[in-house]
Amino acid sequence: MEHIFREGQPNAPTFILLHGTGGDENDLLPLAQALNPKYNILSVRGEISENGMNRFFKRHGEGQYDVEDLNYRTDRLIQFLKEAAETYHFDLTNAVPVGFSNGSNIAVSMILHPDITFNKALLYAPLYPVDLVNDKDLSNVEVLLSMGENDPIVSIQDSQNVIDIFENRGATVKQVWVNSHELTREGIIAGQSLLKDD
């Protein structure tokens, strides 16, 4: 997978940066710098092209996921992360997914996957309209959900669904409500706060 790796301070955690639709591996580098400049960075480009826009998985329309492809791409991304951890010598158990929009959505899929464990995640403008039978215990997970009160893509009901996915599985959820489908200063400050325990 196309990606950027930047080494941080020794034994620092690693941000897994996952861009939104139409972005690339450069998009969230300033966000990582703002959140904590000491961390390693692994920024990944989505493998799907939708009308020339990079994405992490296919969809049939806005909010209509190709679940088969989502599962396939999630497996591929997890395998890539495991290989990257060996290549770049970072601890995958101490990695923090940081996603925006489509990147947040593939991050949710990874967090729910049985083959990988994250203790923290920062998800900006997530949407996850998938019927779940997965009851993975997330009681050791802290997650920031930055959601828009007037988001034209993700309704408040859709945002509440994401909250429920995590809370129903025992995760500690920190909510930040912003205006729209966006990265904001409030969201960054909330992310910094959640990371401070490291």
pLDDT digits 0-9 by tens, 163-192: 999 999 999 999 999 999 999 999 999 999
pLDDT digits 0-9 by tens, 80-131: 999 999 999 999 999 999 999 999 999 999 999 999 999 999 999 999 999 9
Q: What's the confidence (pLDDT) of residue 198?
A: 54
- Residue 65 reports pLDDT greater than 80: yes
pLDDT digits 0-9 by tens, 147-166: 999 999 999 999 999 999 99
Could you tell me which residues are beta bridge partners of residue 177? 147
The residues carrying an active-site annotation are 101, 151, 181
Q: Which residue has the higher pLDDT, 137 or 62?
A: 137
- Tell the burial category of 131 from Cβ atoms under 10 Å away from its Cβ (0-12, 13-18, 19+): exposed
Superfamily (CATH H level) for 3-195? Alpha/Beta hydrolase fold, catalytic domain (3.40.50.1820)
Q: What's the confidence (pLDDT) of residue 43?
A: 98
Q: Enumerate the domain spans of the chain.
A: 3-195
Instruction: Return phi, psi of residue 117, to 5°.
Output: -130, 130
pLDDT, averaged across the chain: 96
pLDDT digits 0-9 by tens, 29-50: 999 999 999 999 999 999 999 9
Separation in Å, CA 26 to CA 6, 87, 96, 129, 189 = 12, 20, 17, 27, 21
